[in-house]
Amino acid sequence: MSKMTPQEMAQKIGSGLLSFPVTPFKADYSFDEATYRANMDWLCGYDVAGLFAAGGTGEFFSLTPTEVSEVVKVAVDETKSRVPVLAGTGYGTAIAREIAIGAEKAGADGLLLLPPYLTHSEQEGLAAHVEAVCASVKIGVIVYNRDNAILQPDTLARLAERCPNLVGYKDGIGDIELMTRVYTKLGDRLTYVGGLPTAETFALPYLDMGVTTYSSAVFNFVPEFATNFYTAVRKRDHATIHAGLKDFILPLIAIRNRRKGYAVSIIKAGMKVIGRDSGPVRPPLTDLTEQEIAELTALVKKLPAIRSSQQAAE
């Protein structure tokens, strides 16, 4: 059971960079606990404000509810309260509640509620879904506004009144007008998380809208780059930001965009590149080709040349 209140969790994750660790699999696609423990311990050595176990990059969509609880339990045990651990939950309301309860029992400090499976719903139905999940646990809940689960500002405001443990809003659609209306409506009632794929590309403009943190998938395999980039964003160090985008993030996106599902696959490939092989992605995702891994390797090798403009001036 988490020792953090929902509000404490929200304040903590809003203070720094967030990441979604990959879930390592063996060749037979079973959970590789030993590698996961080693990865989590390594990542905790960097300045990160929260780790999301069994999240999107952690292939939540390919895990069973039992596996989610198992992954979260291992994450909580290995991090040893060094950083908050949040768990993914989703699918239909009944399954989302089951996963949420299991994650809370496993010691998660909070939840990220992903969109329901496939179904498109009216605001009333989405609100009932979110409220049911919030009511099933005492830990904090962050709602992920994305795809078929787009909550409007008035809906969010009503949910915030009814659900004290609804403490966060993660944006995954990039609608600047909607983000502005949400922040104007709810202000500091929620912690706002940037959640677009490869969030580094949107980090600076989102900061000006009150989004103080974002989820960095690349933190998995280049944590030093990711934390330095986040520091540059918070300092509005444009030179460092643009260098990081030009020399690493945008070329990485070019590889990612070649095939569907590569947003996750390229992170698993990155783990292999740095010598922390975390196994394959589970179907229906596919792994990068050897040529694409070679391209990614070349990108990672160039990273030491990316330095803060402030450091270069010293």
pLDDT on residue 309: 37
pTM of the model: 0.94
57 labelled as ligand-binding? yes
pLDDT on residue 3: 81
**Span 4-17, mean pLDDT?**
96
pLDDT reading at 307 higher than 60:
no
pLDDT on residue 305: 54
Query: Known catalytic residue: 144?
Result: yes
**Close Cβ partners of 37 (under 8 Å, ≥ 6 residues apart):** 74, 78
Express each pLDDT in 106-151 by its tens digit: 999 999 999 998 889 999 999 999 999 999 999 999 999 999 999 9
Query: Known catalytic residue: 170?
Result: yes
pLDDT reading at 314 higher than 60:
no
List the catalytic residue out of 12, 73, 91, 144: 144
* CA 296 – CA 13 distance, rounded (Å): 29
Which CATH class for the 6-234 domain? alpha beta
pLDDT on residue 291: 98
Confirm if 133 and 97 have CB atoms less than 8 A apart: yes
List the catalytic residue out of 12, 91, 169, 170: 170
pLDDT reading at 177 higher than 90:
yes
Q: How many residues does the chain have?
A: 314
* CA 152 – CA 39 distance, rounded (Å): 37
